[in-house]
Structures are given as C-alpha cells and as structure tokens.
Structure 1
Amino acid sequence: MDEEEGGSEEAALLRQHRKEKKDVQAKIQCMKNAVPKNDKKRRKQLTEDIAKLEAELDEKHKQELATLVQKESTQTEIKSVTNGVTGLDLGADVPAQQPRVSKAQKETEKKAALEKERDERIAEAEIENLSGARHLESQKLAQILSERQQQIKHIPSDGHCMYRAIEHQLKERAVNLTLSNLRHQTADYMQSHADDFLPFLTNSATGDLYTPDEFEKYCSEIANTPAWGGQLELRALSHILKTRIEVIQADSSPIFIGEEYMGTPITVVYMRHAYGLGEHYNSIEPLSATPTE
C-alpha cells in the first residue's frame, strides 16, 4: 500500500466515524426528547445510557483507527525491507522501525483522555453533592413533610414554578384556575394596589424605588412572561384567593402570608438550592409508598 492509498483509506475511515457520531447524536436527541425534564429518575438513567453509547462508539473508533495504523505500519515495513534487501549491509546494525502513529489516532487518544478526566470530575461532583447544600436541604424538607404525612410534588423549573405550585394546590381543591389566570390576576391586583407593593420594589442598578413606569413594566412581565414570582406575588395571590398561603422552608418555621384569612392554607415549598439558579417553589401531596424523588 503506497502513501496515497493509506491516506485515502484513513480519510474514508474518518468520514465513516463522523457519520456514525452524527447518527448517534441524532439518536441521543430523540432519547432526550422522549424523557420529561422533571422526571429525575429517568433523566439520570438517560444520562447513563448516553454516556454508555458515546463510550462504546469512541472505543469502536479507537480500535478501528488502531487496526488501520497497524496495517499501514506492517505494509510500510514490508515495503522497506523489499526495497532495501539488495543493498543491505549485513555487517551494519539495522534500526527497528517504529510504528507510525497517525494524527487521527493522536486526536482520538487526546479526546479519550479529556473525556476520562470529565467523567472523573462529574463523579467527584456527585460525591460532593451528597454533602452539599441542595442534598441537605432536600433531606430536611423530606423530614419536615413526612411528619405531616406529606411529600414534595415536583414542579418544573421554568420561571412559572410558584404559579404552577399554586395551580396544583387549587386543583386539589377542585378550583380550576390556570397558570395564565393566576398570572394575569396577580398583575391586575398589584397594579390596582400599587401603594401596597411599590415600596418593596427597587431598581437593582440604582437602588432607587421603582418609578411608576418601571412598576407598570414589572406587572406586565408578571402577566406575559415566565418572570419568577416571590413573596410580593404570593401576598397578592392570598388576597385574590381569600386564603392563607403557607410557605415551608428547610431552615426556619413555616411562613404564613394572608393571615387575616381563615381556613386551610394553600401550602408551597420554598427551596433555596434546588437548581443551578437557586430559588425554586414546589407543591406538596400526600405521602405515598413511592416518593417522587
């Protein structure tokens, strides 16, 4: 095999590898789309399955490249011996020819080393998380709720979590107010009671209280965007729904908003360390034999 043939064969193999990687990535995307983002158990299994798929493909490519390199090396050695046999000086030392390592194999080995390092960092992060703030917070909340024969009902982290938690609680009471209803009613109530809310809103850049225009924009975002909701919005909702809202936290006693109202409160769970962005609201449900997390 001459050098041109070897290069052509290597290029063909690399094209095949690129196509296989593209096919696997398409398969992985389909796998991701098939699993809901809030199904943590299946997402964890999905991560493991994807890692296995990628590792198997990388190992296959590495072996195929190694086989090609060995084949090229053997052909090169045969050609060298054949061409030089007539002029061989039997009295001279003949240096051993080192197998040629292709650029593709070097890149593959470098990639494999980087992926191994990445996997080790992920494993270390998982171990660290077992003693991290998120894990400890989840444990404390699970204990608090289990004493009440309740557990967390997980809500997606999409900016609507507080409103979705309220929506879930209302459905448990056969009250059908949608996410959109809750957002628009909250915005309308705050706009019509601006004096009760404006003193608690400040511009993060200047530290000054919101102007009327800034407050109007704030209320518009409540109604029309996934803007995150907090204590001010919960206070507005307690007045809209004429009910107390209980907020359970890991490190303090429950907070009650709208204490002037009687009856069983709506309960939500406030988590400071649930996701990378931090704060998050979940709902609750009766304790079952199969916890949601």
Structure 2
Amino acid sequence: MDEVEENSEEGLLIKQHRKEKKDLQAKIQSMKNNVPKNDKKRRKQLTEDIAKLEAELEARHKGDLEALSQKQTGPTQVSGITNGVNSLDLESEEPVQQPRVSKAKKRREKKAAQEKERDERIAEAEIVNLSGARHIESQKLAHILLERELQIRQIPSDGHCMYKAIEHQLNERGNAFTVANFRSQTADYMQNHAEDFLPFLTNSSTGGMYTHEEFLKYCTDIVNTPAWGGQLELRALSHILKTPIEVIQAESSPIVIGEEYSNKSITLVYMRHAYGLGEHYNSVENLDTITENS
C-alpha cells in the first residue's frame, strides 16, 4: 500500500492544507456570528464572501499539489556519464533500470489529471457564461433560496446528481441511503408499475412509445450506468420514500411531486445551464450551515 509519510514533503504539505482549512472554517464561523440572521442583505453578501474565500483556498491548494507533483515527477538529472560514449560496446551494455512507479501513484496522477481537465473546462465555461444563461440562472436561484433562508449545496455533475442530492438531504435527517440503493429501488418500482411510466417514454428515432424490451433496457441502465435521472425517476422515488419532492427552478414556480404524502419534503434545485455541461440537480442546506471541506 502506497501511503504518504507524515514527515515527507507531501505529508507536510497535506498537514499544512488541513490547518489552513480549519483556520478558514474558524474565520467563516466568526464572520457568520457577526451578521444577524434576519439581515438578508448582509447574509447574501456574506454567502458570496465565504464562497470566494473557499474557492481561493481550494485553488491555492490545488496549485500547491500540482507544483509538488511536477517537482516529484519531473525530468531526472543523470550524472556520471563520460564523454567516451562512442567507445562503449552498445551490444553488451545493460539497459538502465528506470524507477518503478507504484500503481497507487499512477492512479492518483491519472485522477489528478482528469480533475484538472474538468476544472479547466468548468473555468472556461464560467468565463463564457459570466453574463450568459448560467450566470442569470444562478442569480435568480440564489434570490429564490435566500427568501427561504436556504443556499445551494453543490453536487458533483457525474450523472448521479439527482440521486446524490436526495441522498444528501435524507442522510442529513439521519437516514442511511445510498445512490446504488436509490437506483435499484427506482428501477424495480418502475418495472412493477410499467403502466404508469411507459406511456411517457418515446423512442427518439421512431417517435413511437418504448417497446417492452426498450423499457426493460431503460430500467437496467438506471441500475448499471450513471444514467441521468428526471421527472419519471423522481415520481418513482417519491412513492418509494412516501415523501414529497420539491423541485425549484429559476424560470417557473416550484414543482412538487408526491403531494399526497405528508412527510417533510425533499427540496432539489434544477439547473438547466449548470457549468455549460447541461442540466443538473443540486441539493440545498440552511443558509447558516458551514460547508465542511473534505
């Protein structure tokens, strides 16, 4: 197992980052304590200031880790090579053994490269959409949530966002649910109540309603792939959980699915222009909640 030594350069950097995150959380708590909860204008500005501080710290930490990674994996300086290269017997010369890179390190480097590429795409989209649809949508949603003393809880845009947003809210209530469990139960419910869902599924090529085989594949994909969830899956989940699910949008009134149930509703935020990567669901949390950095 490839573990980071505590006193290594990487270990010391991680320790420093943890301390800086704790210091920032203490600063954020102090900032929140100094702003009355009923002062919505100052609370809104506070939310923006906190988001900026967290983003700046995260960006700096990523830069530190990238610089360290480049330092550790950069070109190796080879010494002790004589000028008599031409006189060597190349056929009898044994190949130079290159340092072996562990599988764990390769996985970390691959993951870091993928995250960096995704962050770059998001950053480019942020610039393009600064005055575009996404920015306008975000401003409207922030205003809607502020009136309810709520704020967005960001959910990764990995195809599981709807399920993860529901998972977040139910886990906050002390219920242990997982995305895999949601997907499995959703597929089972839809197959057992096909008459309630099949009429709303259309084959994009033929324009006709799904066949029985196409519907079974649709349900199988819910379980086995990161297939994006929508209104049909929300309807199934509201029945499974016996809980209303409210969906807040920027351009229209909230939609409530499962109004027949009396449990405390789950609230999701639906974004049509998230990060320029398409439609997306986020969760919500109370405005005075401190978001823990992982």
The aligned residue for residue 258 of structure 1 is 258
Contact 1:137 1:273 in 2 (8 A): yes
Distance 1:40 1:50, change over 3 A: same
**Aligned pair count?**
196
Give the root-mean-square deviation of aligned CA atoms: 3.5
Separation in 2 of the partners of 1:166 and 1:154? 12
**Could you give the per-residue CA deviations for residues 171-214 of structure 1, whole angstroms, max 9, x where no partner exists?**
12211111111000000000000000000001112211110000
The aligned residue for residue 217 of structure 2 is 217
The aligned residue for residue 287 of structure 1 is 287
Contact 2:203 2:210 in 1 (8 A): yes
Distance 1:279 1:126, change over 3 A: closer
The aligned residue for residue 237 of structure 1 is 237
**How far off its partner does 1:275 sit?**
2.6
Tell me, what secondary structure is at the counterpart of 2:272?
A: strand
Structure exhibiting the larger radius of gyration computed from Cα positions: 1
State whether structure 2 residue 185 is matched by structure 1 residue 185. yes
Distance 1:123 1:266, change over 3 A: closer
- Structure 1 residues not aligned, in runs of 5+: 1-26, 54-121
The aligned residue for residue 194 of structure 1 is 194
**How far off its partner does 1:130 sit?**
2.1
Tell me, what secondary structure is at the counterpart of 2:209?
A: coil
Tell me, what secondary structure is at the counterpart of 1:228?
A: coil
Distance 1:204 1:125, change over 3 A: closer
Q: TM-score, normalization: structure 1? A: 0.58
The aligned residue for residue 272 of structure 2 is 272
Separation in 2 of the partners of 1:241 and 1:199? 23
The aligned residue for residue 176 of structure 1 is 176
The aligned residue for residue 246 of structure 1 is 246
The aligned residue for residue 152 of structure 1 is 152
Map 1:29-178; keep pairs closer than 5 Å.
41=56, 44-45=59-60, 128-178=128-178
Distance 1:42 1:195, change over 3 A: farther
- Structure 2 residues not aligned, in runs of 5+: 1-9, 18-53, 69-121
**How far off its partner does 1:46 sit?**
6.8
Identity of aligned residues (%): 68
| Runs of 4 or more consecutive aligned structure 1 residues displaced over 3 Å after TM superposition | 39-53, 122-128, 289-292
Tell me, what secondary structure is at the counterpart of 1:175?
A: coil
Q: TM-score, normalization: structure 2? A: 0.58
Distance 1:237 1:125, change over 3 A: closer
Separation in 2 of the partners of 1:152 and 1:205? 37
Q: What letter matches 1:195 in structure 2? A: E
Q: What letter matches 1:242 in structure 2? A: K
Distance 1:262 1:213, change over 3 A: same
Contact 1:151 1:291 in 2 (8 A): no
Separation in 1 of the partners of 2:235 and 2:248? 15
Separation in 1 of the partners of 2:223 and 2:155? 19
The aligned residue for residue 78 of structure 1 is none
Separation in 2 of the partners of 1:274 and 1:171? 24
**How far off its partner does 1:43 sit?**
5.9
Separation in 2 of the partners of 1:256 and 1:244? 7
Map 1:6-25; keep pairs closer than 5 Å.
none
**How far off its partner does 1:129 sit?**
2.4
Separation in 1 of the partners of 2:65 and 2:193? 51
Contact 1:246 1:257 in 2 (8 A): yes
Tell me, what secondary structure is at the counterpart of 1:275?
A: helix
Separation in 2 of the partners of 1:189 and 1:47? 43
Q: What letter matches 2:183 in structure 1? A: R
Range with greater deviation from structure 2 (169-178 or 128-137): 128-137
Tell me, what secondary structure is at the counterpart of 1:278?
A: coil
Separation in 1 of the partners of 2:57 and 2:144? 26
Distance 1:123 1:264, change over 3 A: closer
Contact 2:166 2:266 in 1 (8 A): yes
Distance 1:164 1:123, change over 3 A: closer
